[in-house]
């Protein structure tokens, strides 16, 4: 009877260890792949919110669009546009914008210049 209880417990423990290791491995792989990424994105990666839905547990069931693309398309996720804002994920990392937030974009220079000119009219 005791063995019947211990075997499932051991199996669950191994699954938990394996999942935690994989999660940490993905995070560390991202940080290693983007050593010059801005501090905002690196902090978001370290806090798991770059790839997971904020406020949720950081497991495979709570990935955001970017996290899902990162996890399932390891070799091509940089060329993908996870948030549909017409900027690919790799460029968003270079620009320090969030690849899962379509509102997170580099400001349009034309719009910015128009805003500055409007102050002096
Ligand atoms: Ca994008
Ligand atoms: Ca974006």
SS (HEC) of 53-104? CCCCCCCHHHECHHHHHHHHCCCCHHHCCCCCCCCCHHHHHHHCCCCCCCCC
Q: Classify the phi-psi angles of 94: left when phi > 0, otherwise alpha if psi is within -120 to 50, otherwise beta.
A: alpha
16-20, 77-81, 117-121 — most confident range? 77-81
Q: Which residue has the higher pLDDT, 94 or 14?
A: 94
| Residue 11 burial (10 A CB sphere; 0-12, 13-18, 19+) | exposed
Query: Distance, CA 112 to ligand 1 centroid (Å)?
Result: 21
Cα of 39 from ligand 2 centre, angstroms: 16
**Total structural domains within the chain:** 1
The whole model's pTM is what?
A: 0.71
Q: What does the DSSP 8-state code read for residue 37?
A: S
Domain that holds residue 39: 2-119
According to the model, what pLDDT value does residue 110 have? 65
Instruction: Indicate the pLDDT class of residue 72, thresholds 50, 70 and 90.
Output: very high
The Å distance, Cα 119 to ligand 1 centre, comes to: 31
Q: What is the pLDDT of residues 17-62, one digit of tens each?
A: 344 444 688 999 999 999 999 999 999 999 999 999 999 988 899 9
């Amino acid at each position: 009877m005791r063995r019947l209880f211990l075997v499932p417990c051991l199996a669950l423990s191994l699954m938990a260890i394996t999942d935690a290791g994989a999660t940490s491995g993905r995070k560390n792989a991202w940080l290693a792949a983007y050593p010059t990424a801005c501090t905002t994105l690196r902090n978001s990666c370290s806090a798991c919110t770059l790839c997971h839905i904020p406020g949720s547990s950081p497991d495979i069931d709570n990935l955001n669009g970017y996290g899902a693309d990162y996890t399932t398309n390891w070799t091509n996720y940089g060329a993908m546009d996870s948030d549909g804002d017409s900027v690919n994920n790799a460029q968003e990392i270079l620009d320090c914008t969030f690849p899962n937030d379509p509102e997170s974009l580099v400001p349009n220079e034309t719009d910015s210049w128009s805003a500055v000119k409007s102050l002096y009219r």
